[in-house]
Amino acid sequence: MSPIVSVEHLGKSFGGLRAVHNVSFNVEPGEVLGIIGPNGAGKTTLFNCMAGMFPPSTGTVHYQSENVTSWSDAKLARAGMVRTFQLMRPFGSMTVLENVAVAAAARGAKERDAMAQAWEILQRVGLDHYATRTSKDLPTAGLKRLELARAMALHPKVLLLDEVLAGLVPTERQPVIDLLLSIRDNGVTLLFVEHVMQAVMALSDRVLVLNHGETLAYGTPSEVVANPEVIEAYLGDEVTNVDSK
């Protein structure tokens, strides 16, 4: 099977700062790749380069065997590679339902179909009770779900998720992990940046560890949490109690 996403020697510099340097990995269709690393390691920058927010300084991104390195975020999203944002960006004055319907319409659905699809997705992510509220009234957990719902409305084949669990209290996490597992079970390939190790362990087939923009480790979840360099750079004492991170 050929990889659905292939990143080769990707680099991004901001002035003199090397935010991402020489990062390479492949993702197979249906695989879940967790991306971890300390604050400032380059995780979001990697996603920004992959999802067409800005071009990388070096290297290439292939999606479905096509070189998409210079594609815009909109073109990539239309082709099925969709990302969510670490800082959520809903249309605050629209209702929750409208926010998702706009995404469905962007994918080509007519207004009534877009509303119907949006409603179905809101039920799936557990936001149907909030459908007619304006999105700026949502608590953090709701905004995270809305961000996921909007991404799902674009019918992604590959989803890049940037810290969808950040800001959630532990009891709010498992339902989102279960939702991500169900999205994966529907055939969506997931790449997710996350600090919550409970989710990284539960979801990932493989884990990429970034540190100072470079690949520190790349392997199965149990391999990376046992890697002394990863413990030193990132996990620290948490490795004995990954549930708490």
Ligand X SMILES: Nc1ncnc2c1ncn2[C@@H]1O[C@H](COP(=O)(O)OP(=O)(O)OP(=O)(O)O)[C@@H](O)[C@H]1O
Shortest distance in whole angstroms from residue 25 CB to Mg ion: 17
Interface with Mg ion by CB under 5 A: which residues? 43-44, 86
Q: What is the 3-state secondary structure (H, E, C) of the chain?
A: CCCCEEEEEEEEEECCEEEEEEEEEEECCCCEEEEECCCCCCHHHHHHHHCCCCCCCEEEEEECCEECCCCCHHHHHHHCEEECCCCCCCCCCCEHHHHHHHHHHHCCCCHHHHHHHHHHHHHHHCCHHHCCCEHHHCCHHHHHHHHHHHHHHCCCCEEEEECCCCCCCHHHHHHHHHHHHHHHHCCCEEEEECCCHHHHHHHCCEEEEEECCEEEEEECHHHHHCCHHHHHHHHHHHHHHHHHC
Pick 34 or 115: Cβ nearer Mg ion = 34
Q: Of the candidates 42, 52, 156, 221, which one interacts with ligand X according to CB under 6 A?
A: 42
Pick 39 or 171: Cβ nearer ligand X = 39
Q: What residues from 89 to 128 belong to the interface with ligand X (CB under 6 A)?
A: none
The answer to whether 39 contacts ligand X (rule: CB under 6 A) is yes
Pick 54 or 91: Cβ nearer ligand X = 54
From the list Mg ion, ligand X, none, partner contacted by residue 39 (C-beta under 5 to 8 A by kind): ligand X
Q: What residues from 58 to 87 belong to the interface with ligand X (CB under 6 A)?
A: 86
Segment interacting with ligand X (CB under 6 A) among 2-10, 14-22, 126-134, 231-239: 14-22
Segment interacting with ligand X (CB under 6 A) among 35-43, 60-68, 106-114, 199-207: 35-43
The answer to whether 44 contacts ligand X (rule: CB under 6 A) is yes
The answer to whether 45 contacts ligand X (rule: CB under 6 A) is yes
Q: Would you tell me which residues interact with ligand X (CB under 6 A)?
A: 14, 17, 19, 37, 39-45, 86
